[in-house]
């Protein structure tokens, strides 16, 4: 979905990606290897050429967090939380539990 947004809506300003990670450094590394490093981004890499990394760094922001935490662990990043509140127009929620033995009542 991230690749398609960047490809079809090139004027999008920023995409904040909540990534399960211990800190911002680990989230950024995971973004680079598990998202941007995939073959799916080939078309964008060809389109942007040597400017691909610059475009990615301007448009994608990795946010370390945990969807199961009430505040997504953003309580530790009050400045970032305020930035998100001020700048976000749309939220797309694609997170899911991967524990298939969990009862529905527990994940509400």
Over the stretch 68-94, which tens digit does the pLDDT of each residue have? 776 666 656 667 778 878 887 777 776
Give the percent of the chain with pLDDT over 90: 33
Angle made by CA atoms 53, 72, 8, in degrees to the nearest 5: 35
Indicate whether 21 pLDDT > 90.
no
Is the pLDDT at 16 greater than 60, yes or no?
yes
pLDDT, mean of residues 32-45: 91
Confidence band, pLDDT 50/70/90 cuts, at residue 20? confident
Q: What percent of the chain has pLDDT over 70?
A: 77
Provide the whole-model pTM.
0.75
Tell me the pLDDT tens digit for each residue of 43-67. 999 999 999 999 999 999 998 877 7
């Amino acid at each position: 979905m991230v690749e398609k947004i960047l490809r079809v809506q090139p004027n999008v300003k920023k995409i904040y990606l909540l990534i399960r990670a211990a800190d911002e450094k680990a989230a950024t590394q995971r973004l680079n290897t598990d998202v941007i490093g995939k073959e799916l981004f080939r078309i964008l890499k060809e389109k942007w050429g040597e400017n691909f990394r610059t475009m990615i760094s301007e448009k994608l922001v990795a946010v370390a967090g945990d969807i199961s935490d009430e505040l997504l662990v953003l309580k530790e990043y009050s400045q970032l939380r305020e930035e998100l509140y001020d700048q976000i127009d749309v939220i797309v929620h694609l997170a899911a539990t991967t524990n298939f033995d969990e009862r529905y009542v527990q994940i509400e």
